[in-house]
């Protein structure tokens, strides 16, 4: 597994598929990132499965 993984998610605002680069060395994390298409802020929640693969959830900023 690489320390940086690219994951693809759908923006919770515009619905477009975007790519996020996840730093797997930081462990479980939560942060705000702007959508690459509509520029609206999304909450990004990062966890990991048992094999260490990142599990990413994105939500509206106020969720």
What pLDDT band is residue 4 in, cutting at 50, 70 and 90?
Answer: very high
At 1 the pLDDT is 58
Instruction: Quick: pLDDT tens for 10-47.
Output: 999 999 999 999 998 888 999 999 999 999 999 999 99
> How many folded domains does the chain comprise?
1
At 56 the pLDDT is 96
Residue with the two structure tokens 């730093």? 23
Domain extent for 44: 4-60
At 17 the pLDDT is 98
At 20 the pLDDT is 96
């Amino acid at each position: 597994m690489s320390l940086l993984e690219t994951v693809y998610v759908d923006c919770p605002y515009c619905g477009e598929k975007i790519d996020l680069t996840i730093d797997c060395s930081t462990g479980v994390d939560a942060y705000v990132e702007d959508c690459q298409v509509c520029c609206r802020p999304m909450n990004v929640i990062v966890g990991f499965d048992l094999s260490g693969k990142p599990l990413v959830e994105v939500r509206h900023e106020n969720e």
